[in-house]
Amino acid sequence: DGGLGAIDEGYLADVFTGGSHDQWAIGDFKDMYPAGVYRSCFYRPGVDPDVVMGVGIYGQMLYVDRPRGVVIAKQSSWEQPDESVDHDDAYRMCQALARSLG
């Protein structure tokens, strides 16, 4: 809803439309999200349109699916940082929830 005044609309537009596919294609996570983009601390996996997520190294995740009107905040306290398989599972869980709710 454009941030409802709590978040700058320009920042939101940048998160959802900025970034470079060319830069992503030469980065470390290109195989994880082949159509992905990273911008302003958020990942756009490029699978579902208008979906972004913020990912913390200890398992935290903020998943925003604008077309479906779904926001998921996942708190976490992993003892060890960044196990990609765990991030993948969390992403798939959020994606499945958003698809079933929206």
55-91 confidence digits (pLDDT tens):
998 889 999 999 999 999 999 888 888 766 677 888 9
Give me the percent of the chain exceeding a pLDDT of 90.
Answer: 52
Global pTM reads: 0.87
Average pLDDT over residues 11-37: 90
Q: What DSSP line would sit under 1-53, residue for residue?
A: -GGGGTS-HHHHHHHHH-S-HHHHHTSTTTTTSTT-EEETTEEE-SSSTTEEE
Upper half-sphere CA count for residue 54 (Cβ side, 13 Å): 12
Q: What is the reported pLDDT for 83?
A: 66
Hey, is 90 helix, strand or coil? helix
CA gap 20, 2 in Å, rounded: 22
DSSP-based three-state secondary structure for 96? helix
Question: For the residues 42-53, what does the mean pLDDT come to?
Answer: 93
